């Protein structure tokens, strides 16, 4: 097997071990706030299957104070940046920071800009189950989601603020940089629909760029693409020439973005399978730090996965407790027959805040680490004065989820437990509206990072269902498989 290049895991005695990196980063993150937790992470012998409690401990150890949470975030980021490496094209291996030093080894990036031919929309609308909801219909849907516990009330309030201020949808004064421009959960289609300006970064994949070019032509916005110097926007081969590789071209992407006019909103929507996800997440974080050090006008945007560990408000705990008290005899019997392994309560009574542990073992420690890096960056840079949009997105039937048979089945059976799984078009439009709110509304940072993470969360119900999600996961899979066979 060829030695990897670009952003890579550090070399240890056992090779470039993802498990060794995960253990070390979590241990360093916990060391100051929770020394016992740090030692536990360091000595975890089966990281691939034993990682779950250590990620929960990161949240628990940060709850006592804002300072504890920020120390964990800063130490975790420092641990990652000190360990991850970059293998250049000539084989030289350097640290992350050194990847930006000196002249880029590769060809610089130029820009091709396309203008859409549509009319900008100035009313918020949301695709939902074959309809496009707007006005009173959208407001009723928000009410229904809040009543069912699918979204937090602050999420509905934020969307209504965008409804009431349609001029907010005009994003021509912002340059929205969409890292992972082809992602199903990204805001690119909505921003172009509203007539905004998108700078797209994704791999050199002609089919992907052809799709993005067609989207631009259909809507009213403007799309800027990374291309080799001398490439024209009317080049018939434009889709085959566009693209940039964050793993191997960090200096080129950084220089390209540093030269952009207008305020940058750096949106992180990247995803890759397995260990590559951590490598790409690290590359994005290194790019983020580089841009923030060189430009004062960089805002950040993140989408958080709902299948993680979050501190949640007391109101969510009370909602779950009401559901638990009202559960039927069948579910009480099932819990008894399983010896308490199935359908145990989501929270201890009266917890404030509660800890919602929705980590899914099938997603693995690399996915958990990549998403935790984003949370750490959001918390640290918000504390340092940056404008940050961080929103928990709902469970969504994306291609990456449906490729996993167990997860696809669990999503198919999730509605039996009060969890709503969204279609990608609904999710990405809802999340784009929340991004608009975060860019336009003057909302100060809250007292503790967990409260910022919980604000406007659209978790699909995972925070407010009666049962701890993993205790219902196996049943959801069985019910989902049964439905598929039916």
Average pLDDT for residues 187-199, to the nearest whole number?
97
Calpha distance 128→111 (Å, rounded): 35
DSSP H or E segment with residue 215: helix 206-218
- Whether residue 407 is predicted with pLDDT greater than 70 in this model: the reply is yes
pLDDT band at 337 (very low <50, low <70, confident <90, very high): very low
C-alpha 402, offset from chain centre: 17
Q: If you average pLDDT over every residue of the chain, what do you get? A: 93
Cβ neighbours of 177 (radius 10 Å): 25
DSSP summary character for residue 300: E
Calpha distance 181→197 (Å, rounded): 13
Average pLDDT for residues 239-261, to the nearest whole number?
95
Q: Which of 222-231, 323-332, 473-482 has the lowest mean pLDDT?
A: 323-332
- Whether residue 257 is predicted with pLDDT greater than 70 in this model: the reply is yes
Tens digits of per-residue pLDDT, 273-292?
999 999 999 999 999 999 99
CA distances from 463 to 152, 251, 318, 321, 354 (A): 9, 40, 11, 11, 9
SS (H, E, C) 94-163: EECHHHHCCCCCCCCCEEEEEECCCCCCCCCEEEECCEEEEHHHHHHHHHHHHHHCCCCHHHHHHHHHHH
Beta bridge partners of 396: 422
Tens digits of per-residue pLDDT, 167-181?
999 999 999 999 999
- Whether residue 308 is predicted with pLDDT greater than 50 in this model: the reply is yes
Average pLDDT for residues 428-447, to the nearest whole number?
95
Q: Which of 66-70, 276-280, 386-390, 443-447 has the lowest mean pLDDT?
A: 443-447
CA quadruple 87, 266, 125, 195: dihedral sign = negative
> How much is the pLDDT for 485?
46
- Whether residue 327 is predicted with pLDDT greater than 80 in this model: the reply is no
pLDDT band at 483 (very low <50, low <70, confident <90, very high): low
pLDDT band at 103 (very low <50, low <70, confident <90, very high): low
- Whether residue 44 is predicted with pLDDT greater than 80 in this model: the reply is yes
> How much is the pLDDT for 23?
97
Calpha distance 123→136 (Å, rounded): 12
Candidates 87, 110, 86; CA nearest to 253 is 110
DSSP H or E segment with residue 222: strand 222-227
> CA torsion, points 151, 366, 351, 160, in degrees to nearest 10?
-20
Q: Is 59 left (phi over 0), alpha (psi -120 to 50) or beta?
A: alpha
């Amino acid at each position: 097997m060829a030695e990897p290049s670009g952003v890579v895991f550090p070399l240890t005695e056992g090779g470039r071990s993802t498990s060794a990196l995960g253990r070390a980063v979590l241990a360093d993150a916990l060391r100051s706030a929770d020394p016992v937790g740090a030692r536990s992470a360091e000595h975890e012998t089966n990281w691939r299957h034993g990682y779950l409690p250590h990620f929960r401990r990161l949240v628990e150890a940060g709850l006592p104070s804002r300072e504890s949470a920020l120390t964990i975030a800063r130490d975790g980021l420092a641990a990652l940046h000190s360990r991850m490496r970059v293998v250049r094209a000539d084989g030289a291996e350097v640290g992350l920071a050194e990847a930006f030093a000196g002249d880029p080894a590769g060809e610089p990036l130029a820009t091709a800009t396309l203008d859409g031919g549509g009319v900008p929309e100035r009313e918020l609308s949301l695709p939902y189950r074959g309809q496009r909801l707007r006005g009173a219909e959208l407001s009723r849907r928000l009410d229904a989601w809040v009543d069912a516990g699918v979204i937090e009330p602050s999420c509905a309030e934020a969307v209504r603020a965008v409804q009431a201020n349609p001029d907010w949808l005009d994003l021509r004064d912002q340059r929205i940089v969409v890292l992972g421009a082809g992602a199903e959960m990204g805001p690119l289609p909505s921003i172009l629909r509203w007539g905004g300006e998108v700078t797209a970064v994704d791999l050199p994949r002609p089919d992907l760029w052809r799709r993005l070019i067609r989207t631009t032509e259909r809507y009213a916005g403007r799309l800027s693409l990374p291309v080799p110097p001398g490439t024209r926007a009317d080049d018939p081969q434009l889709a085959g020439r566009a693209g940039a590789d964050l793993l191997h071209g960090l200096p080129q992407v950084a220089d390209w973005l540093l030269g952009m006019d207008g305020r940058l909103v750096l949106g992180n929507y990247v995803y890759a399978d397995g260990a590559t996800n951590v490598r790409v997440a690290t590359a994005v974080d290194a790019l983020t730090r580089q841009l923030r050090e060189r430009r004062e006008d960089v805002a950040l945007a993140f989408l958080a996965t709902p299948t993680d560990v979050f501190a949640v408000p007391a109101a969510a705990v009370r909602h779950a407790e009401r559901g638990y008290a009202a559960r039927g005899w069948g579910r009480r019997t099932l819990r008894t027959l399983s010896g308490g392994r199935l359908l145990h309560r989501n929270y201890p009574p009266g917890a404030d805040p509660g800890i919602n542990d929705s980590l899914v073992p099938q997603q693995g420690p690399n996915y958990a680490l990549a998403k935790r890096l984003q949370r750490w960056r959001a918390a640290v840079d918000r504390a340092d004065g940056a404008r940050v949009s961080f929103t928990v997105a709902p469970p969504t039937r994306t291609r990456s989820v449906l490729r996993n048979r167990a997860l696809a089945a669990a999503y198919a059976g999730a509605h039996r437990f009060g969890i709503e799984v969204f279609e990608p078009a609904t999710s990405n439009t809802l999340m784009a509206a929340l991004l608009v709110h975060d860019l336009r509304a003057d909302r100060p940072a809250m007292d503790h990072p967990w409260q910022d993470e919980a604000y406007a969360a659209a978790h699909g119900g995972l925070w407010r269902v009666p049962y701890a999600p993993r205790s219902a996961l196996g049943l959801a899979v069985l019910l989902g498989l049964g439905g598929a066979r039916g």
